[in-house]
């Protein structure tokens, strides 16, 4: 499994292994990707980052563009494949459903 550092490196490397085609993800873009993978909406991201929804839409769009992804669903796949997030255990899922009323299927890796 790869960590966020490898995701940053992967995002800055061309598919043919040549010189970087784009800059790697910024720490903020990594945060956006983590939270996208947790299923947060633009409104929830805006509240978390203390930004307007329009600004969040721009940040999400730029993050997806840097990764050459066409939608949020693909961002979730990339976050899992690179180890940026990992599935929660059944016990954690059960605890979340009981206490929060809303279940998320992923958690942020340390």
The tokens describing 15, both together, are 């598919």
pTM: 0.63
CATH number 2.30.30.230 given to 4-85: no
pLDDT at 90: 54
Instruction: Express as a percent the part of the chain with pLDDT over 90.
Output: 55
CB 40 within 8 A of CB 48: yes
- C-alpha distances out from residue 64 to 29, 60, 79, 90, Å: 9, 6, 12, 30
Q: Is the distance from CB of 40 to CB of 60 less than 8 angstroms? A: no
Give residue limits of the domains in the chain: 4-85
Q: Once rounded to an integer, what is the mean pLDDT over residues 47-56?
A: 97
């Amino acid at each position: 499994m790869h960590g966020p550092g490898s995701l940053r490196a992967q995002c800055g490397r061309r598919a043919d292994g040549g010189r970087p085609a784009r800059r790697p993800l910024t720490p903020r873009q990594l945060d956006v990707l983590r939270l996208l993978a947790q299923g947060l909406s633009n409104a929830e991201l805006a509240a978390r980052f203390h930004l307007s929804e329009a600004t969040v839409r721009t940040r999400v769009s730029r993050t997806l563009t840097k990764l050459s992804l066409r939608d949020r669903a693909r961002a979730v796949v990339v976050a899992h494949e690179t180890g940026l997030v990992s599935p929660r255990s059944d016990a954690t899922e059960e605890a979340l459903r009981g206490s929060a009323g809303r279940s998320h299927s992923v958690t942020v890796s340390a």
